[in-house]
Structure 1
């Protein structure tokens, strides 16, 4: 695994651990129809932390595991900064997401 993918994988793990630490990690997935959303971030069917846990993290890990091309130049931080503004203790999580955005910039 190259250095970029190692950094990315570590960030994904750090995001997961931080979500667990601040109790945003869920034991059970959303209902199956929630995954059918065609909206960005499944905004109409999932909370932002659900999308991060159940859609984004697994897809990114699958891409890494398949040694496929990593999506680049995405920006998650603005969405999560807004969607989590009412939550407690999210500064570390938001910083990790911002670091992720910066890592994938080309």
Structure 2
């Protein structure tokens, strides 16, 4: 793996760590129906932390570990800013981790 891929993998671990620190990591998966939502970020069936845990992180890990094509841009931090606008101090470290992920994805290959 190249340095960029390793940095992205580390960032995914950091995002998981921050979700755990916030107490938002769940041992129980949402229903199959909730996970199958067609809405962006599953906004109709999951909260944002659930989406990060059950959709975003597994998909990104699969791409990183399998050598798949990563997205060329990411705006995950912007979405998190909207979702958590009422509590930016509580989620500060999560926002930083998501922003760093966006930066790593956007770097030239």
| Root mean square deviation of aligned Cα | 1.2
Number of residue-to-residue matches in the alignment? 106
Q: Which deviates more, 84-93 or 21-30?
A: 84-93
- SS for the counterpart of 1:9 is helix
In structure 1, the partner of 2:101 is: 100
> Unaligned regions of 5+ residues in structure 1, if any?
none
Provide the TM-score with structure 2 as the length reference.
Answer: 0.91
Q: Distance in 1 between matches of 2:103 and 2:4?
A: 12
Q: Distance in 2 between matches of 1:10 and 1:84?
A: 23
Q: Distance in 1 between matches of 2:10 and 2:70?
A: 14
Provide the TM-score with structure 1 as the length reference.
Answer: 0.93
